[in-house]
Structure 1
Amino acid sequence: MNQVIELEGVAKRYDTAGAPALGPLTLSVAKGEALAVTGPSGSGKSTLLNLIAGLDKPTEGSVLVAGRRIDQLSEHALAKFRREHIGIAFQFFNLLDDLTVTDNIQLPAQLTGTSRRAAAARAGELMEMLGIQKHARAYPGRLSGGERQRVGVARALINRPELLLADEPTGALDSASGAEVRKLLIDLHRGGQTIVLVTHDLALAEACASRTIHLVDGHLALDTYAQAVR
């Protein structure tokens, strides 16, 4: 099975005199897997996500995503790589309030040079798939939390990334909106999308992930596979 993520001996230190915030850690994620990363605050979850996203670089070890050694790329090359290969759904959505839903979703595609017509077609396809097409001309401030997270996921998927990273995607939502996003992640995984989900919510991990790792003090304490995703 093709590996979308390959981390080999990865460690991250913010203080050279102290223990590493993460690792050393060796981890691979196969194409089509939905991996949940759990653990207490300070366990290294966000550090791991940032290293996979290329938002931070390891102190030691190598990080390959979609076959590229991203820890060796320049900042400019990293930004281009993320736009083309990685989608990120944030806890607090990070939508632009002065753009419509459609324009928010289209923006990453236009940044890669996709024509406005092609970007609009892809955005329309995603809005229909995610059940938000009726909000196409609305502004984010008029949407519920669950709807805004769906817009964030659509934006993350606009460039058909090999990898979707979801950072506490239900952390800022009420229970009803959280249930909507949970179903969305399950559907995306069933459709073959490779996902890495960072969450404190063990119920979310159990519902959405085919595999769960648990970090403690920057180290891998548990690595389990689900029998099936419900």
Structure 2
Amino acid sequence: MPEPDPAHLIDLSDVGRTYDDGPAALSGLTLRVRRGEALAVLGRSGSGKSTLLNLLAGLDRPSTGRVTVDGLRVDRLSEAACAKYRRSHVGMVFQFFNLLDDLTVLDNVLLPAQLAGADRTAAAARAAELLDRLGIARHARAHPGRLSGGERQRVAVARALMNRPPLLLADEPTGALDSASGADVRELLRELNAEGQTIVLVTHDLALAEACATRTIELLDGRIARDVAAVTR
């Protein structure tokens, strides 16, 4: 296999993933994503989208091939090293937010920094910066259950960005939102990418892909069936 190119944040080479005796979730997948790209991953249920996201997050391991993110061979990391990798290299945004309802907005955002053992003063300053940047500073002392769906997703994005990860993974980030909140999150992701954040998002929302992605791939039966760069955005 060729050596990873440092210009690419993500470098997957001939990746396959099978589970027990079932069909391959991914088969011979080779994918490179440059730093600063926003990649939308489309495909039907069962096409391999979630498996791809889990491999990038270090939550799963390939059966064959190589997964390299930011120069790290993620497929070779121990469980402890994978946990450290996720804290420092990956921010994750989910369809249903995955916020802790018994913590305030501020404490939810601070959680990744606390798990990473960051300096408290620096972490508090970073959290305040993110809450202000994302327009939710007024909710810092509120609990997530009192916020709208769009506001909760902004909290989730702030939490994902807390440790300044080079890679932001988003799994159906507008899937649980109404149309207005979905448009709000699309604009937020577009702005983050314009500022240089590398994003990989899995979505069925074509409007999200068209608004945010600089490149779109479509998976079919664990393989890339289409790979298209955006002409304009």
**SS of alignment partner, residue 61 of structure 1:** strand
> What does residue 59 of structure 2 align with?
55
- Structure 2 Cα separation of the partners of residues 60 and 71 of structure 1: 9
The residue aligned with 1:129 is: 133
Aligned to 2:81: 77
Aligned to 2:18: 13
% identity of equivalent residues? 68
Q: Post-superposition shift, 1:203? A: 1.4
Q: Please state how far the C-alpha of 1:15 moved relative to its aligned partner.
A: 2.8
Give, in whole Å, the separation in 2 of the partners of 1:44 and 1:66: 22
Which one-letter code corresponds to 2:101 in the other structure?
D
* Residue pairs, 1:1-230, within 5 angstroms: 2-16=7-21, 18-229=22-233
> Could you tell me how far apart the structure 2 residues matched to 1:103 and 1:116 are?
12
1:36-74 residue CA offsets vs partner (Å, 9 max, x unmatched):
000111111001000111100000000001100010001
- Please list every run of 5 or more consecutive structure 2 residues that lacks an aligned counterpart in the other structure: 1-5
**Shift of residue 123, structure 1, vs aligned partner:** 0.5
What is the root-mean-square deviation in Å for CA atoms of aligned residues? 0.9
**Structure 1 residues 198-220: Cα deviation after superposition (integer angstroms, max 9, x where no partner):** 00111110110000000011110
SS in 2 for 1:187: helix
| Offset at residue 228 of structure 1 (A) | 2.4
Structure 1 distance, partners of 2:51, 2:165, is 21
What do the CA deviations read for 1:132-160 (whole angstroms, capped 9, x no partner)?
11111110000000000000000000000
Alpha-carbon distance in structure 2 between the residues aligned to 1:86 and 1:228: 27
Aligned to 2:216, what secondary structure does the other structure show?
A: strand
Q: List gaps (5 residues or longer) in structure 1.
A: none
Kindly provide the amino acid, as one letter, of the partner of residue 65 in structure 1.
V
Q: Distance in 2 between matches of 1:145 and 1:2?
A: 36
Moved more, 112-121 or 132-141: 112-121
